[in-house]
Amino acid sequence: MDREKLMDTLIPQAWEAAKNAYVPYSGFRVGAALLTKSGVVYPGCNIENSAYGPSNCAERTAVFSAVARGEREFAAIAVVGKFADGTPAGGDGFAYPCGVCRQVLAEFCSPEDFLVLLENAQGERKALTLGELLPYGFVLRD
């Protein structure tokens, strides 16, 4: 599937997942839709906690749900986010995966081939490889 079609498929599912975000502290809703190489999509949303530290990002929710189902091979993830009142994220408005989520993705996903698909609150889209997002990522063993 080409990048445009992948975005058309996964980005609406990521926005749908964002509706389940539990964000009483930040108010920033993030949704993810993780596609396995076999064609299954796992949703994820951010889940915050009153102690802050235990909060979980949408991307990791999706990866951990998928891995808990026995999945290990992934093709792409769509990630979207905005504040509950519609305000976009800072910078250029894309909800880029945080450093921790990039490292978690790198555990299972190829830096050359795995695609991170983004849409901001203004409807602009962007596709990046994992390697573009996490250059020189830590690798313990090949």
Applying CB under 6 A, the residues found at the interface with ligand THU are 23, 26, 28, 30, 46, 48, 55, 57-59, 97-98, 101
Cβ nearer to ligand THU, comparing 7 with 14: 14
Using CA atoms, how far residue 87 sits from 52, 124, 127, 128, 129, in Å, is 22, 14, 22, 23, 26
Known catalytic membership, residue 59: yes
The distance of closest approach from Cβ of residue 39 to ligand THU in the complex, given in angstroms and rounded to an integer, is 24
Which residue out of 4, 48, 59, 107 is catalytically annotated? 59
Cβ atoms of residues 18 and 80 within 8 Å: yes
Minimum CB separation of residue 2 from ligand THU in Å reads 25
Instruction: Give the CA-trace dihedral at 98, 7, 26, 23, to 10 degrees.
Output: -110
